[in-house]
Homo-oligomer: A and B are copies of this chain.
Amino acid sequence: MDPGREDEVPLAATSPESRRTRSNGRGKATVGDAPPPAETVVSTKAAPLPTGGWKKGIAILDFILRLGAIGAAMGASILMGTNEQILPFFTQFLQFHAQWDDFPVFKLFVVLNALAGGFLILSLPLSIVCIVRPLAVGPRFLLLITDLVNMATVIAAASAAAAIVYVAHNGSQDANWIAICQQFTDFCQGTSEAVVVSFVAAVFLVCLIVVSTLALKRT
């Protein structure tokens, strides 16, 4: 849109010589015989290296945060997916075996967290591209959109599971729902841990989005 800025990314990769030539072409200083003004124009625009370095730091931070988010999302999925408890004694319930896939919400939790973790792993190459080319806009924008979707997914899964864990812990007198955690203590602790880890993944994703926005932002 702004013709004065559309060649910013190529500028970072070209040599000072070609840069001066391009500036001359834009400023039309080669038509006459006044090179000094054109050279001073170049000197006021020729400092993309500090910006690139700052953006590269942001890209590396993005990569590290992404690894953390992958670990947390996958960890939450595995924690929940391996969660079961068999009671050694007979209770007032008919069954004495609690497993994560008894509850559809926990199934959804495992699937959504695994999906988010998978998409985050798939986004790692893009993140590396952003480290190599810190000023590229396209990959960064794609990362931001996928992170946004992943964040919504992880928060939705974690909140839904948290609501069920709350009912399992406290029950609901008005609805006659029993607090099953009074029997299945280990099972409930496992689900609570998985929910907490999933919220950690969500925090990582929020940080990722803020970092991506900072990288995209006009200064």
Contact = CB atoms under 8 A, between A and B. Distances in A.
Interface residues of A, number: 69
Contact of A219 (B1, B93, B172): B1
Copies in the complex: 2
Nearest to A102: B174
Contact of A218 (B37, B137, B167, B180): B137
Given A36-B32, A141-B217, A217-B216, A54 B1 contact: yes
Contacts of A69: none
A4 interface: yes
Contacts of A51: 1-2
Contact of A98 (B4, B34, B174): B174
A39 B213 CA distance: 35
A28 B162 CA distance: 64
A194 to B, nearest CB: 14
Contact of A213 (B2, B98, B141, B164): B141
Complex A-B, nearest 6 residue pairs according to Cβ-Cβ distance, in ascending order: A4-B45, A160-B163, A102-B174, A1-B51, A159-B159, A156-B159
29 contacts: A1-B51, A2-B47, A2-B48, A3-B45, A4-B44, A5-B5, A5-B218, A27-B37, A34-B34, A37-B37, A98-B174, A103-B175, A137-B217, A144-B213, A145-B210, A148-B209, A148-B210, A151-B152, A155-B155, A156-B156, A156-B158, A160-B162, A161-B163, A163-B163, A167-B167, A213-B213, A216-B217, A216-B218, A217-B218
